[in-house]
Structure 1
Amino acid sequence: MRRAALAVALLLAGAVALDRAFPPDLSRARDLSAEVTDRDGVTLSVFPAAGGVWRLRTTVEDVPPAFVAMLLVREDARFRWHPGVDPLALARATAQAAWHGRVVSGGSTMTMQVARLLEPRPRTALSKAIEIARAVQLEVRYSKDEILGLWLTLAPFGGNLEGVRAASLALFGRPPMGLDPAELALLVALPQRPSALRPDRFPERAAAARNRVLEIARDAGVLSPREVADAQATPVRAARHEMPRLAWHLAVREAGDARVATTIEAPLQAALERLGAEMAASLDERANLAVVVLRNADRTVAAHLGAVPGEARAGTLDLTRAVRSPGSAFKPFLYALAFDAGAIRPETRIADLPRRFDGYAPENFDRGFTGEVTAAEALRLSLNLPAVAVADAFGPLAFVAALERAGAPPRLPPADAGPGLPVALGGFGATLTEATALAAALAEDGTVAAPVWRAGDTAERRRFVSRETAGAVRAILAASTPPPGMPPQLHPPRIAWKTGTSWGHRDAWALGVSATHTVGVWVGRPDGTPLPGQTGRATATPLMLRVFALLPDPGTLPDAPPLPPAPALARLGEPRADRLRLVFPPQGASLADGAAVTLRAAGGQRPLTWLVDGAPIASPRHRRDTAWQPEGPGFYRVTVIDAEGASVAAEVRVRSP
């Protein structure tokens, strides 16, 4: 007896040693397709695994109980009871093979199938013995549901499809939980002969195999006769669906991880992408658009559209991260900072009349002037000269520094000089994501945070302006005249918005805030070429309003405490001495293509630096003029900077001969 016990102990010790020395190889189960989900676990986008295989991790919780029941009665009725090997099934299979002279039924359990899926081998007696050993190993190491999960992840479904979730998405366009009994039965049948039963190639064979599974399920009491009759009457659909590709530009950033949960809402994202495609169809064939939707409460991304697909539209680019000129879209942030610093108040009087600022003479979009207005009116009407006066009083360097601290650093033309007054009118580069984050600060409490899109991450907020200042700017923008086509449910005071149009009609912007969400929209050509007639109000605002219409009713915008009192000025600032001046070309000049242009400045401290569209051009640094050869027709920005950092710029057009 003692010897028998010792022998058993030695056998067990040897088995444990072998198990540790030769553990199951789970590398195939770990080599998964990258998957990005929404905040509720709904699949947004997937990316193929190595070799172009679609293989998504699938657990018992990912499939309906009816599927598991059908699978087990079809493949391994005693799965829950046996230790990985079913002696009765093996004996039956051996006897049938001996009687018929060929394999009639398989003796493999689900666990043995998993062993074969993990480590594919030729079908030989040795391979079967190894599968049996591996099956016992798996049963010792893992629970029954975990073993089922391995099968659900690795089972072949024809072509480059592996696993139940991948097959369900590709064959039916829905996850397994959304399938009916006929579809579930087909998924049970396919792994038996995945190539011969592919429904997109052999629908009749697939239907026959499915019906056999349904009959087995009926006989086992898994499905009722009525359910089986209805399922068998359902034709097999042969179409192959594209794998999910929602929020693709955001998803591709996370493609390296097996499964990443985001803060996106899948239904909203799908609606946004349909809306984006509809709006893009009305644009120039080379134009595109981008949209960011944030939740104000936690600054998480609710929906994200980097671009509408299309080769001519450069649809692979994530245009929410493209650096573009915001035009007037950043004026609210300038006014907010000036209010917060006490430089001005909404009631401060500003003269909207012709004026030069060290040689810089801004004009309004309509080339006219309004006269004396309050700061609130100037912001609401998006007047340019008052905005420059505010920047002059607050300081362009202070404005740029505040934007940098807020996580939206303006991309200025490369030069040694500091920022000039054109920053008031969007004379720099920014991204839509940054602009939307800043707008969200005005929507709520004046704090700003980089948008968060990974579930579980927390936005790190920092103070941009006070809650009172944010409320003051929000109230000003909410009192704007509703644009044509604004749905009544969005009329003031339900949303506040600001538009922007960059010089040369290259970029159209719209930023809007409600009590619950902030929406940022950009429209333009990805290559930066002009789109004549495009403006923020005409092109971007309609899209912004339709995006808001996709969101729940936000209610009214929150009230804000009043700003502390500050002395109002009858007229903001006085002109400084006229130093550096751009003599030629003047603002808005129209030049003929083909001829060299002599750029000429007056005043200022030499040496001078000349820039065209932010790029330095060769010039005699101690002269006040230089030659420039335009590259062709189009819009250009000519800038001259002196040794003291003063700068003057003019926008010109080179026309075709």
Structure 2
Amino acid sequence: MRANMATLRKWIYGFLFFCGALLIANVAFPPPLEKAYNTSTLIVDKNGQWLNAYTVENGRWRIKAELDGIDENFIAQLIAIEDKRFYRHSGVDPIAVVRAIRSWKHHGRAVSGASTLTMQLVRKLEPRPRTLRSKAIETIRAVQIEMRLSKREILELYLTHTPYGANIEGIVAASRIYFDKTPNQLTHAQIAQLISLPQAPEARRPDRHPENAEKTRNKILAKLHKTGFITSLQLREAKEEKISTRKYTLPNDAWLTGRKLKNIATPLYPKITSSLDTRIQTMLARLGRDYTQSDQFNVAAIIIDNETMKVRGHLGSAGRNKPGGWIDMTSRPRSPGSTLKPFIYAFAFDDGLSAPGSFVLDAPTRFGSYQPENFNRRYYGQVRIFEALGHSLNVPAVIALDKVGTDRFESALNLTGAKVSKPNSVNSDAGLALALGGAGMTVEDIAILYAALANGGQARPLVWLENETPHSSYKLMSEESARKITTILRQAPTPNGRVPHWLTQNSHAIAYKTGTSYGFRDAWAAGYTDKWTIIVWVGRPDGAPRVGKTGRQAAAPLLFDIFANLPGVGSDQHYQKIQSAPRGLKVFGGTAINQPEILFPPNGAEIAVSEFGKAGRGLSFAARSPTADPLQWYVDGKPISRQETSRKTIWYPKGNGFYKVSVVAKNGSATHSFIRVIAFDRNNSYEN
């Protein structure tokens, strides 16, 4: 009796030891499930419509399968054909194993397979030679997976990794590429074809071997009919359906947006639901392509829903074939031109320095070493703020920024999430050039700022994901100042051929501003309504100039075309007369330069000449006049006359020495330069 008890204890201990060893091995050598979740990143729009997808290793399409998006008939028929006891076994089907052994003994070769769906998944995750040892490992791995995952999860992984020929893996990619359908839209014939394909993916590819594909499909259809999944009529109709040899391409829309967002994806959540709207995105891409057909330049644009700050349309480039077509120009800093002027005046309104009806002097004005000029180099004297902004006059904007303060203005813009890229070497005086585009900003930065105008002065970051939590806002300006700026910009002169919104019904009341960078390198148009904010950039990514192409000519027409294709017109807006400024704000400021400025020769210059007198080439004087009246030049008090033919003032020095060069304006103001003239000989030596 004692001997029997001792033997029993040994068996129990041995069994427990064996089970413990199995558990330890199971933990120490887990199945490689991390590979199972390596799938293609998928970018969809706010409604779930595909925009873009990205391959995994070796350029394979492997898109995550979800049972909720797959036809229930496909699932049931797949299990009936491949693994009918799938829901009853634990990774290994003993009945199928016994049947396979018997058939092997009877026929001398493998006739009936015993691999379950779980074992097939193992084979895909860990490819091995088809040997008995490999089969044993697959069996163990299948049990391990069944211990860790539910049947639903296993089925989804199987349908994600199943090979369908070429670089196609998974039911989702196969349905899209072979049939241009989702897995819940398949016909009986297509279901049968996709069930038969994984058994010999390359030999049964419909695009290369349509006869084999049809033959094996019909065999599967016959089995499905025999098991009662389809009727005789459905069988006949399915067999009559032709095999399609076409392969469809997966969507490749908003590819630069996808490149921006794809790094957000994780192995467990490879699908990214962007904030884009496919209808708006398609419209924007079409307009961008049409707009750039006849010239070698590129465009970038962004469309924002003001209420949510969600990006509904994003065009980083008009096409890969355009200059710099692979670059997302919405995220590259460029000179914003005059697009920041509305915010400068809004700050002046907030500070109580001016009002839309305040007068400001538009005349040549110097700020330390910096002297801005109007774009057309014409000046209009005393103008009101709304006129200066509506006609984008440069000098009044710099006057306003000088009063607001460059550091404060730049800091406020940065606090919104928009980044002002400015060289560290810029001093406070040169920083006034920020009013005219003397810094770098992106299309996305400008969108944040103009959406703040539409939202009553509240600035928020852009939202790129549909389910993203809204960001907190930053008060860039008061609601009253935003309203005043909006009124001015709504009544700005419209582009040629465009009717002002207050003269039409059911049209977008667009408040907009254009901008042109130095040298015609960047053309901008930024506009907004109550519903939308749109920013358009036009130019060449390499910075090459496009002479004569201003924001008003090159970018504003596209801005208005985009608005014309958007919904949400809103209520009609009437023309509003802007009131005069209150008594204390009648005059904003500005001090004109009342004396001429010598451009050449500069004060203190030392000038070498090869020959004196009329035999030499002479020195051509140049100066800037505070008025449009001509200037009179003098050298040591003696007048120098203009030449009759060239209308230039040229002086021929008679010898070495120091000279006083003076220029006198009509109002009597004068400026002087003291220079030295020396002889320059052929041997590169100076004569004193």
With normalisation by structure 1, the TM-score equals: 0.80
Structure 2 Cα separation of the partners of residues 37 and 564 of structure 1: 51
Query: Which residue in the other structure is 2:440 paired with?
Result: 429
Partner of residue 265, structure 1: 277
Gaps of 5+ in 2: 603-618, 625-688
Q: Aligned runs of 1:374-393 on 2, under 5 Å?
A: 374-393=384-403
Q: Deviations over 1:361-411 (max 9, x none)?
A: 655445545554432232223233332332343344443333233333433
Scaled by the length of structure 2, the TM-score of the pair is 0.76
The AA in structure 1 aligned to 2:413 is L
- Alpha-carbon spacing, 1:46–1:490, altered in 2? closer, same or farther (3 Å): farther
Letter in 2 for 1:316: W
Distance in 2 of aligned mates of 1:179 and 1:273: 31
Contact 2:361/2:591, CA 8 A, preserved across alignment: no
**Partner of residue 558, structure 2:** 543
Whole-Å separation in 2 of the counterparts to 1:376 and 1:17: 79
CA 221–386 in structure 1, closer or farther in 2 if over 3 Å, else same: farther
- 1:531-584 superposed Cα distances (whole Å, 9 cap, x missing partner): 234222232223223333443324249999x99985454443131678996725
Q: 1:56 aligns with which of 41, 63, 74?
A: 63
Indicate how the Cα distance of structure 1 residues 191 and 555 shifts in structure 2: closer, same or farther if over 3 A, else same.
Answer: same
Give the direction of change, closer, same or farther, for the CA distance of 1:480–1:80 in structure 2 (3 Å limit).
Answer: same
Q: 562, 572, 579: which is aligned to 2:588?
A: 572
Task: State how far apart, in whole Å, the 1-side matches of 2:560 and 2:140 are.
Answer: 64
Aligned to 1:626: none
2:350 match: secondary structure: helix
Which of residues 497, 513, 531 in structure 2 aligns to 1:516? 531
Question: Whose radius of gyration is greater, 1 or 2?
Answer: 2
Give the distance between the partners of 1:441 and 1:231, measured in 2 at CA: 58
Instruction: Rate the CA distance shift 1:137–1:354 in 2: closer, same or farther, 3 A.
Output: closer
Q: Does 1:583 align with 2:599?
A: yes
Distance 1:415 1:139, change over 3 A: closer
Does the Cα contact within 8 Å between 1:358 and 1:576 map onto a contact in 2? no
Distance 1:599 1:299 in 2: 56
C-alpha contact (below 8 Å) 1:358/1:581 kept by paired residues: no
- Provide the rounded CA distance (Å) in 2 between the counterparts of 1:7 and 1:199: 55
Q: For 1:448 and 1:265, locate their aligned partners in 2 and report how far apart those are by CA, in whole Å.
A: 22
Q: Does 1:440 align with 2:440?
A: no
Which residue of 540, 543, 568 maps to 1:528?
Answer: 543
Change (3 A) 1:109 1:388: same
Deviation readout 1:509-550 (Å, 9 max, x if unpaired): 111212222111111111011123422223222322333344
- Amino acid in the other structure paired with 1:477: L
Is this contact kept in 2: 1:298–1:459, CA < 8 A? no
| 1:456 aligns to 2:463 (yes or no) | no
In 2, Cα distance between equivalents of 1:406 and 1:579: 42
The answer to whether the Cα contact below 8 Å between 1:514 and 1:556 also exists between their aligned partners in 2 is no
The answer to whether the aligner puts 1:154 opposite 2:165 as a matched pair is no
Q: CA deviation at 1:209?
A: 2.8
User: SS of 2:87's equivalent?
Assistant: coil
**What residue number does 2:304 align with?**
294
What is the one-letter code of the residue matched to 2:509? R
Matches within 5 A, 1:93-172: 93-172=100-179
Q: Give, as a single letter, the amino acid of the residue that structure 1 aligns with 2:400.
A: V
Residues 54 and 161, structure 1, Cα contact 8 Å, conserved in 2:
yes
The equivalent of 1:277 in structure 2 is: 289
* Alpha-carbon distance between aligned partners in 2 of 1:228 and 1:515, rounded to the nearest angstrom: 57
Q: CA deviation at 1:60?
A: 1.8
Instruction: Give distance in 1, aligned partners of 2:469 and 2:102.
Output: 60
5 Å-filtered alignment, 1:120-519, equals: 120-256=127-263, 257-258=265-266, 259=270, 260-282=272-294, 284-285=295-296, 287-352=297-362, 362-370=372-380, 372-412=382-422, 415-418=425-428, 419-454=430-465, 455-484=467-496, 494-519=509-534
The Cα shift of 1:415 comes to 3.0
Number of the residue aligned with 2:608:
none
Supply the RMSD in Å over aligned alpha carbons.
3.6
CA distance in 1, matches of 2:543, 2:399: 29
Give the direction of change, closer, same or farther, for the CA distance of 1:68–1:573 in structure 2 (3 Å limit). same
CA 544–101 in structure 1, closer or farther in 2 if over 3 Å, else same: farther
Which amino acid in 2 is paired with 1:150? L
Q: How far has the Cα of 1:181 moved from its partner?
A: 4.2
CA offset digits 1:55-100 (Å, max 9, x no partner) = 2222322322222123212212221222322233333333334444
Contact 1:388 1:424 in 2 (8 A): yes
Distance 1:570 1:393 in 2: 16
Secondary structure, in 3 states, of the residue corresponding to 1:327? coil
- Between 10-19 and 522-531, the greater mean CA deviation after superposition: 10-19
1:511–1:174: structure 2 CA closer, same or farther, 3 Å change rule?
farther
One-letter amino acid of the structure 1 residue matched with residue 566 of structure 2 = L
Q: 2:516 touches 2:522 (CA, 8 Å); kept in 1?
A: yes
Query: Which residue number in structure 2 is paired with residue 590 of structure 1?
Result: none
- Which amino acid in 2 is paired with 1:530? P
How far does the alpha carbon of each residue in 1:344-364 deviate from its partner, in whole angstroms, 9 at most, with x for none?
Answer: 111212344555555766554
Alpha carbons 2:91, 2:118 under 8 Å: kept: yes
Which residue number in structure 2 is paired with residue 630 of structure 1?
none
